[in-house]
Structure 1
Amino acid sequence: MKIEDLKQEIIEYSKEIGIDKIGFASADVFSELKERLRRQQELGYQSGFEKGSIEERTEPKRLLPQAQSIISIAIAYPSRMKDAPKGTKENRRGIFCRASWGVDYHHVLKERLEKLEAFIKDKVAEASTKIMVDTGELSDRAVAERAGIGFSGKNASIITPEFGSFVYLGEMITNIPFIPDSPVEDSCGDCRKCLDACPTTALVDGGQLNAQRCIAFLTQTKDFLPEEFRSKIGNRVYGCDTCQQVCPKNKGIDFHIHPEFEPEPEVAKPKLKPMLRMSNREFKETFGHISGFWRGKKPLQRNAIIGLGHFKDKTAVEELIAVLQHDPRPVIRGTAAWSLGKIGTEEAIDAIKEAMEKEKDEQVLYEMEKGLAFQESTSTLN
């Protein structure tokens, strides 16, 4: 079979199995990306979640020695939630980013790619392949850009002409020498809405992200959250969509193509107080099927506690005191003390003072002092 005919058959089959966009790229070294990654490393902009060395992330032949091409796929997800529940003063809610609204996309894209892989190997017996979805060494964004899926925007996302940046990406390296597709022209122009709107100035310049300041990254960390970012996170439980929401290319974009990506309102916008009381089993039963659960219970719970402090939710004081007094994890106890200080009721302040007499952990004690400092600053202002 001719390579061009095979390519067309793959394109047609991809539509049948629920792939919204497919593109083909060469497996040449990503030289420009390699320099960018080195610069990123020098500046300390990496998240620490990256897999592999810079060479492995930019040289496809290190991952599949006989690599000739890379097939890139994109699947669209919704940007709006139907019948979204609203928080009340008694029941404040958090929010997961749109990319974590439905079933974990890693599983869905891997399953689509495996179907595509089986189709190719049925056509070409000697085909070699390697599949990756987000957690692989290659940069999904760099592959998608080269394959013509979309252009790399200033918000560090791939922006497609059809679906904006609300797409999941995955790829397959193969030894079949497909004719590459042409890249999409960058059309950000002079627009800098995403750079100006980023709550933490994580977008340094066009397409350059300082992951250490990105809320999407910060919500996934497990340690105490640096003080400067707590007020910026607000009620975000996982991820951040600000740079996508303000993008003009995403205006009016909202695709509900795949049922598995439809949000479960009570999961995507969960009540915050119940998250403080959930056992490990309850947490997994509630959130275990979404991508936002990959780091486990602790970060999500910490972020929920920060959210309650953000709202200054007086109805949460009892739950926060229970966490402060009984939770074995210093990060959770300390964050609860900080949040109680933000809320600042007499009961909350008394609880912090009482807990300080028994607390041994230095970091928790520091958070307790910060919690009490909120009250002192308020008293000074009054």
Structure 2
Amino acid sequence: MDYSQLATQIKAWAAELGFQKVGICDIDLSEHEAELQKWLDAGYHGEMDWMARHGMMRARPAELLPGTLRVISVRMDYLPQDALFAADLSNRRHAYISRYALGRDYHKLLRNQLKKLGQKIEQQVGQLGYRPFVDSAPILERPLAEKAGLGWTGKHSLILDKEAGSWFFLGELLVDIPLPIDEPQSNQCGKCQACITSCPTNAIVEDGVVDARRCISYLTIEYDGVIAEEFRRAIGNRIYGCDDCQLVCPWNRFAPLSEQDDFQRREILKNPDLVSLFLWSEEQFLNNMQGSAIRRIGHIQWLRNIAIALGNADYSSDIVDVLQRRKGINDMLDIHIQWALEQQFNQIPIQGTIDTKQQRLIRIVQKGLPRDA
């Protein structure tokens, strides 16, 4: 078997399957084990218990598929045609949703395409041990992608490519054949600190290290409890994920737009009005988010996130009304609704010469709202 020729063929097949870049690396991630353990020991994984539960397996691909010799790492661009970053972030009545989640859930698409790639290789070599992964197993996908030459690890911990920035998904195909490996890219971040200084919650604690407990993506997606007050104002109108560290990255000036229909903004999110989204019943949420990654957080967490965004919006009587209508559904949700109501009340215009606190109380009582607000 001419494995060099096979590697070239694999990359051609991958391009046909919709991947924009492919790299191959060996499975030695031992240099990352101490770094991973330090991150876990610091508690930076928050309540993502599976991170600690699988321990060093994340750095040992062969424990996931015995006999693995190589990892084929792939990239698929996801930046939608109508990203409209400024339009959604600057309009405080709009919901900002991380650009990767505007379309369909990427997991199934990438996994299916990786499986097809494995089948094509198997047809060529005969018997093949292979297994595709797309965020579906404890594996250090970013170090693997870096080792396979797909890019370097930016200070925000994401993989950056000088031709594509960071707006892309990663996937891996573990195989048991000795393919030739690719060369890593050199780190091109230099002295740039844009991602670190722009993080709304200061979650990037050092180069390449993110404290998930402070990260808006973690707080709005992975964390299902009461979000600490210190982060609520910083969350702004971001109801699912956060792209700020990518938005300011100079390398993302060169990021290509995705041609995948599945990654384009779904119709229901083309006018992401916070009040309208907050009024969705659980049934509407499940139906409207069918096939979306957002669906996995559930209706209550969806409402929790929007409640915070409504609290951060400019005062409006319709916002106060919808917040009031949602009270009593869930204790955890009520905490965030009460906070949002307080933020709204604090913006009620003060008129005349009556004492500020007294005037606000009068207006609250007139609206039939709780006195303790």
**TM-score strictly above 0.5:** yes
Q: 292-301 or 191-200, which moves further after superposition?
A: 292-301
SS of equivalent residue, structure 1 residue 180? coil
CA contact (8 A) 1:104 1:289 kept: yes
RMSD over aligned Cα atoms = 2.4
Give the structure 1 partner of residue 357 of structure 2: none
CA contact (8 A) 1:79 1:254 kept: no
SS of equivalent residue, structure 1 residue 294? helix
2-structure distance, mates of 1:15, 1:277: 42
Matched, 1:4 2:7: no
Match of 1:317 among 315, 320, 336: 320
Note the residue ranges of structure 1 that are not aligned, 5 or more in a row. 355-368, 373-382
CA contact (8 A) 2:134 2:171 kept: yes
- Aligned residue runs from structure 1 range 202-221, under 5 A: 202-220=203-221, 221=223
Q: Per the alignment, do residues 348 and 232 of structure 1 end up closer, same or farther by CA in structure 2, a change over 3 Å counting?
A: farther
Q: Per the alignment, do residues 317 and 90 of structure 1 end up closer, same or farther by CA in structure 2, a change over 3 Å counting?
A: farther
Match of 2:370 among 327, 332, 353: 353
Matched, 1:43 2:39: no
User: What TM-score do you get using the length of structure 1 for normalisation?
Assistant: 0.86
CA contact (8 A) 1:27 1:70 kept: yes
Give the structure 1 partner of residue 55 of structure 2: 54
1-structure distance, mates of 2:284, 2:134: 28
CA contact (8 A) 1:317 1:348 kept: no
SS of equivalent residue, structure 2 residue 297? coil
2-structure distance, mates of 1:15, 1:276: 40
Q: Per the alignment, do residues 60 and 86 of structure 1 end up closer, same or farther by CA in structure 2, a change over 3 Å counting?
A: closer
Give the structure 2 partner of residue 105 of structure 1: 106
Question: Which amino acid is 1:16 matched to?
Answer: E
Q: Per the alignment, do residues 153 and 91 of structure 1 end up closer, same or farther by CA in structure 2, a change over 3 Å counting?
A: closer
Give the structure 2 partner of residue 261 of structure 1: 263
Match of 2:243 among 231, 241, 244: 241
How far did residue 347 of structure 1 move?
3.9
How far did residue 350 of structure 1 move?
6.6
Q: Per the alignment, do residues 109 and 254 of structure 1 end up closer, same or farther by CA in structure 2, a change over 3 Å counting?
A: same
Give the structure 1 partner of residue 170 of structure 2: 169
Deviations 1:24-65 (A, max 9, x none): 01012x122211111011111114434552221001111111
Q: 11-20 or 130-139, which moves further after superposition?
A: 130-139
Q: 307-316 or 8-17, which moves further after superposition?
A: 307-316
2-structure distance, mates of 1:85, 1:3: 47
Q: Per the alignment, do residues 252 and 67 of structure 1 end up closer, same or farther by CA in structure 2, a change over 3 Å counting?
A: closer
CA contact (8 A) 2:26 2:181 kept: yes
Question: Which amino acid is 1:318 matched to?
Answer: D
2-structure distance, mates of 1:197, 1:10: 39
SS of equivalent residue, structure 2 residue 132? strand
Give the structure 1 partner of residue 33 of structure 2: 34
2-structure distance, mates of 1:353, 1:212: 32
Identity of aligned residues (%): 29
Give the structure 2 partner of residue 375 of structure 1: none
Give the structure 2 partner of residue 337 of structure 1: 338
How far did residue 192 of structure 1 move?
0.8
CA contact (8 A) 1:80 1:254 kept: no
Deviations 1:295-320 (A, max 9, x none): 22222211111111101442211111
- Aligned residue runs from structure 1 range 358-377, under 5 A: 372=373
SS of equivalent residue, structure 1 residue 72? strand
How far did residue 84 of structure 1 move?
8.2
CA contact (8 A) 1:100 1:290 kept: yes
SS of equivalent residue, structure 1 residue 200? coil
- Aligned residue runs from structure 1 range 135-154, under 5 A: 135-154=136-155
- Aligned residue runs from structure 1 range 66-215, under 5 A: 66-78=67-79, 81=82, 92-215=93-216
CA contact (8 A) 1:317 1:340 kept: yes
Deviations 1:62-89 (A, max 9, x none): 11110100000000111662678967x9
Question: Which amino acid is 1:56 matched to?
Answer: M
2-structure distance, mates of 1:47, 1:253: 31
Match of 2:305 among 293, 300, 303: 303
How far did residue 219 of structure 1 move?
0.7
Deviations 1:198-241 (A, max 9, x none): 11111111111111111110111211110000000000110000
1-structure distance, mates of 2:231, 2:271: 21
CA contact (8 A) 1:96 1:269 kept: no
Matched, 1:14 2:31: no
Give the structure 2 partner of residue 224 of structure 1: 226
Q: 41-50 or 314-323, which moves further after superposition?
A: 41-50
Question: Which amino acid is 2:269 matched to?
Answer: V
